[in-house]
């Protein structure tokens, strides 16, 4: 679980990082993840914070 301060900082950084290369850079970084890491990142991005979701990530 992230603290509210960390979430605010993360949102601020993501929303202020604009530019033409941002999406390409994100795709390059995502390509480095394993299938399992990508699955977990997707669950986090969807906001899956339920006990069942957390169990599926272990």
30 Cβ contact partners less than 8 Å away, ≥ 6 residues apart: 38, 41
Question: 9 or 22: whose pLDDT is higher?
Answer: 9
Determine the structural domain holding residue 19 and report its residue range: 4-56
What is the pLDDT, as a whole number, of residue 35?
A: 92
What is the pLDDT, as a whole number, of residue 34?
A: 93
pLDDT in tens, 16-58: 666 667 777 888 888 899 999 888 888 887 776 555 555 666 6
Average pLDDT over residues 8-20: 72
CB 33 within 8 A of CB 41: yes
57 Cβ contact partners less than 8 Å away, ≥ 6 residues apart: 39, 40, 43
Look at the chain and report how many structural domains it folds into.
Answer: 1
What is the pLDDT, as a whole number, of residue 30?
A: 85
What is the pLDDT, as a whole number, of residue 13?
A: 75
């Amino acid at each position: 679980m992230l603290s509210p301060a960390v979430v605010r900082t993360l949102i601020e950084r993501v929303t202020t990082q604009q530019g033409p290369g941002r999406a390409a850079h994100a795709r390059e970084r995502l390509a480095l993840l394993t299938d399992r890491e990508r699955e977990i990142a997707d669950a986090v991005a969807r906001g899956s914070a339920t006990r069942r979701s957390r169990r599926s990530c272990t």
